[in-house]
Structure 1
Amino acid sequence: MAETSSLTRGKNVTVEWIIRLLKGTLVGIGAIVPGLSGGVLAVVFGLYEPLMKFLANLQTKFLQNMRFFLPVGIGVALGIVGFSSVVDYAFTHFAAPFTWLFIGFISGTFPSLFVTAGKQGRKTWHWAVLAAMAFGTFVFMRWMETINNVNLVPTFGTWIVSGMLVGLGLIIPGMSPSNFLIYLGLYQPMASGIRQLDFGVIIPLTLGLILIILLLAKLIAWLFKKAYPFMYHFILGIVVGSTAAIIPGGVNGWTIAVCAVLFLLGAAGSFALAKLDEKYPHESLF
């Protein structure tokens, strides 16, 4: 009996590990796809709040938290480094279908995200916050598309700033660092550097990312503690607005059917992942 229980627990741990690895991979891919945000995917996959709490309280249950987030970190690295070429090719040749796949990923988790946002109650003004942030995010992202690009010379310093932008994309759901990097003329050099494992690019990027996350994580965790319903509706509004803003236009012919199928596959996949995650609950981290 004890042996059976031990085997079951071992199986559960393995499944949980694989789920978090997959989530981390999708977050990493989202961080480098123009128009998307790794932070949005971290929110919809239930990683955002516990990650902010962990980074804000590194001394609390450090080893337990490290074990929990290790597969997530591996997945993020795999998504960014391992899939940069795939993302670049897919976005260059199949931008609309590829974007609709990720819109499906995000949309499939809306029901569970909405329930999470209302876990501590939902007042009328929370709806107003959600609507205002959705509208504001949509308008801001559309405006960003109209700005003429500039071209910065890649240096160690600019790569640190680029890493900070990528970090902000994780800290601030809905902010797409890729859009800013495209505007600054740094996206293609960054993607090329990552793809070729150029540590002159990767090291300062990583330093900038870690720096901005450590600086802002404690503030975000404090806001969740003091104003949970507000924060979640604020973030949910950003998720809704940013998702609406990346809907591609000019889709016609057979591409419409392909986009519809990929949207449904993405939604079904993320919904199934959320249900699988519920089936294998992990211990409370804090």
Structure 2
Amino acid sequence: MENHSTEESASPALEPRKLNPVTDWFVRLIKGIIVGIGFILPGLSGGVLAVIVGMYDPLIRFLANLKDKFLKNLLFFLPFAIGAAVGIVLFAVVVEKAFGKYAAQFVCLFVGFVAGTFPSLYKTAGKQGRKSKDILILILSAAGIFVLMLVGGKQLTEVNPNMLSWLASGLLMGLGLIVPGLSPSNFLIYFGMYDKMATGIKDFDFAVIIPLVIGFILCVILFSKIAAYLFKKYYSGMYHFILGLVIGSSLAIFPTVVFPAFTSEGLAAAGLSFAGALLFCVALFVAGTIASYLFSKLEEKYPREEIF
């Protein structure tokens, strides 16, 4: 009996629980919805939310050892997967509405989400010490992705969505789960794919959904073991590299998405004056920063480095 208990605790799916099976199933469903929101909202990370709700560690262990009690673990994560799908679809509707005439303003809200979580992410990145080379990695990765996005400019953002681009988008979404703190939506906004993705999900367009799902699954399966190894061996360097990507990609959104909204054409399309558009942007940025900062205080109770 004692050996059986030890074996059960080693399973990636099983955790000590006191809830009855029905309640527990719905709790995992709700956790999935929360993580799904992180996938669809820019500035948030599905991986971070999975950490907070206590699902990241068992999920990564399951994905890294798929053959170990596969059916049992699959049934454990089924409500979580259903919830994640529900969260993505529900918030795709919200996002599509937000990315109408006030796209630039709502982008400021999402950039605020990034700004609010940065202190917590920076603190977490230095939990195992911070060397000058880590700061250099952060600066170089931020500058690199910023220049890439800025110089790439219209050549990248004007590419029409197709199966390959949706497959790549799915790979990015998978990284959002594998790498806590990374928000793929920042990159999708820049590439002009984000609002189209939200519309495709909302309309159940399987030409969008199927390659997204395939790319997501491929990324998670291929990189779960690699990510766990890299974060365990090169924790500080990896986190500072990711922080740089988050900073650079967020800053690149301003000249490519936000600033054009303040031209005469952009203001006319939104029906706003320059002062009104600016106030709207600032208000949403501040709201996003405050909400995200409060959210990050909760996140700090679940240190990310313990899951690798």
TM-score by length of 2: 0.67
RMSD over aligned CA atoms reads 4.1
Task: Indicate the residue corresponding to 2:110 in structure 1.
Answer: 102
- Tell whether 2:40 aligns with 1:28: yes
Structure 1: any 5+ residue segments left out of the alignment? 1-5, 8-13, 31-35
Distance 2:68 2:130 in 1: 30
Q: Are residues 199 and 162 of structure 1, via their aligned partners in 2, closer, same or farther at CA, if it must alter by over 3 Å?
A: closer
Moved more, 262-271 or 117-126: 262-271
Task: Indicate the residue corresponding to 2:218 in structure 1.
Answer: 211
Q: Give the alignment partner of residue 132 of structure 1, picking from 133, 137, 140.
A: 140
Distance 2:119 2:50 in 1: 12
Q: CA offsets per residue over residues 70-113 of structure 1, 9 Å max, x none?
A: 65x45642453223343233223101110010011111111110
Q: Give the alignment partner of residue 224 of structure 1, picking from 218, 231, 238.
A: 231
Q: Give the alignment partner of residue 84 of structure 1, picking from 60, 84, 92.
A: 92
Q: Are residues 143 and 78 of structure 1, via their aligned partners in 2, closer, same or farther at CA, if it must alter by over 3 Å?
A: farther
Are the equivalent residues in 1 in contact too, given 2:110–2:285 (CA < 8 A)? yes
Are the equivalent residues in 2 in contact too, given 1:108–1:266 (CA < 8 A)? yes
Amino acid across the alignment from 1:241: G
Distance 2:159 2:303 in 1: 47
Are the equivalent residues in 2 in contact too, given 1:52–1:220 (CA < 8 A)? no
Task: Indicate the residue corresponding to 1:198 in structure 2.
Answer: 205
Are the equivalent residues in 2 in contact too, given 1:108–1:271 (CA < 8 A)? yes
Q: CA offsets per residue over residues 160-191 of structure 1, 9 Å max, x none?
A: x6234322244174652455574xxx974x55
Find the structure with the greater CA-based Rg. Answer: 2
Match of 2:154, SS state, is: coil
Distance 2:291 2:75 in 1: 27
Structure number with the bigger relative contact order (C-alpha 8 A, sep ≥ 6) is 1
How far does residue 141 in structure 1 lie from its aligned partner after superposition? 1.6
Amino acid across the alignment from 1:217: S
Q: CA offsets per residue over residues 118-146 of structure 1, 9 Å max, x none?
A: 01000011100000001001111222322
Amino acid across the alignment from 1:259: C
Match of 1:92, SS state, is: coil
Amino acid across the alignment from 2:110: F
Q: Give the alignment partner of residue 116 of structure 1, picking from 119, 124, 129.
A: 124
Within-5 A mapping of 1:116-195: 116-147=124-155, 149-151=158-160, 158=163, 162-171=166-175, 173=182, 176-177=187-188, 179-180=190-191, 182=193, 188=196, 191-195=198-202
TM-score by length of 1: 0.72
Distance 2:175 2:286 in 1: 28
Q: CA offsets per residue over residues 188-246 of structure 1, 9 Å max, x none?
A: 4x555422223454234312321122112221221111110110011111111111111
Distance 1:128 1:109 in 2: 21
Distance 1:90 1:187 in 2: 9
Distance 1:229 1:23 in 2: 25
Distance 1:194 1:221 in 2: 30
Paired-residue identity, %: 40
Structure 2: any 5+ residue segments left out of the alignment? 1-17, 20-25, 177-181, 263-273
Task: Indicate the residue corresponding to 2:295 in structure 1.
Answer: 273
